[in-house]
Amino acid sequence: MGYLTTDKKKVTAKTLLEMKASGEKITQMTAYDFTTAGIIDAAGIDSILVGDSASNVMAGNQDTTPITIDQMIYHARSVVRACQRCLVVCDMPFGSYQVSREDGIRNAIRIIKETGAGALKMEGGKEIADTVRGIVAAGIPVIGHLGLTPQSIHKFGGYGLRAKDDAEAEKLIEDALALDAAGVSAITLEKVPAALATKVTSMVKAATIGIGAGYGTDGQVLVYADALGMTQGFKPKFLRHFANVNKCMTEGVQEYIKCVKEVSFPSESESY
């Protein structure tokens, strides 16, 4: 269950603050299953986010709102089992903290108890600050999430750049300060202007982790299927493909089909 078994120190929410202080960039990538998480952890990532993007990436939903607490627990528990070193962060899904402070704290405790994750992530600013304070007081590290917050997609109506004008930028700063005062360990900044993300980073004690927020944040996060070139036809400006796993898998599957069809697999040596 994620205990330290290598000579490398286990990453915790506290480590993120130490990395901010030392200027070492934080690397985070999503994962939702045991096999993928094991590869990403062994490659040396600092943190795996079990994002509610599992709703899109794993289940093929249009947005993140349908995923349930039980489904997030299933994904996060699988990831925690695979990880030796990195900090596993689990998203609190839509509906698990919006009803009331007590409900949010109860769900947060349940997710931690049943997954073994090292921190939780929650979308929103001032309006969730009191709930965040309660969860942190219960001993659970929290990561905030501002800018493009996909759980509110129906309110915003699209996935465009956020905080483009002065009023929105000012609100984002106020929300970041409210989360910081509530005790978050980090804040994810999604799809906001780079200059604003850099400014927020200098204003908060918490580490900032950007996605589509430029290089001035304390770290970066990407969805693994996007970063590794598995998803086709999704290439926003902020995304870089660091591998072409789609091509690699397609070629592997085609080679398997070919070998089975021509009866070159299994060979004598692959038979009992």
Provide the annotated binding site: 52-53, 91, 121, 123
Contact between 229 and 241 under an 8 Å Cβ cutoff? The reply is yes
- Contacts to ligand KIV from residues 44-63, by CB under 6 A: 49, 51-53
Long-range contacts of 100-108 (CB under 8 A, 24+ apart): 101/130, 101/131, 101/134, 102/134, 104/128, 104/131, 104/134, 104/135, 105/131, 105/134, 105/135, 105/138, 107/69, 108/135, 108/138, 108/140, 108/142
Q: Which is nearer to ligand KIV, 30 or 115 (CB)?
A: 30
Distance CA 216, CA 202 (A): 9
Q: Which is nearer to ligand KIV, 235 or 258 (CB)?
A: 235
Binding mask 167-206 for ligand KIV (x = CB under 6 A): ---------------------x-x----------------
**Strand-strand pairing, 47-50 and 207-211:** unpaired
Q: Which is nearer to ligand KIV, 78 or 253 (CB)?
A: 78
CB 28 → ligand KIV: shortest distance, Å?
Answer: 8
Q: Which is nearer to ligand KIV, 82 or 94 (CB)?
A: 94
For position 36 contacting ligand KIV by CB under 6 A, the verdict is no
Say whether 147 sits in a helix, a strand or coil: strand
Task: Indicate if 24 belongs to the active site.
Answer: no
Distance CA 119, CA 107 (A): 13
The 3-class secondary structure across 73-86, one letter per residue, is HHHHHHHHHHCCCC
- Contacts to ligand KIV from residues 96-155, by CB under 6 A: none
Binding mask 205-234 for ligand KIV (x = CB under 6 A): ------x---------x-x-----------
CA angle 99/102/108 to nearest 5° reads 90
Active-site position among 190, 255, 262, 270: 190
CB 262 → ligand KIV: shortest distance, Å?
Answer: 41
| Active site positions, annotated | 190
Residues found near ligand KIV in the complex (CB under 6 A): 30, 49, 51-53, 91, 188, 190, 211, 221, 223
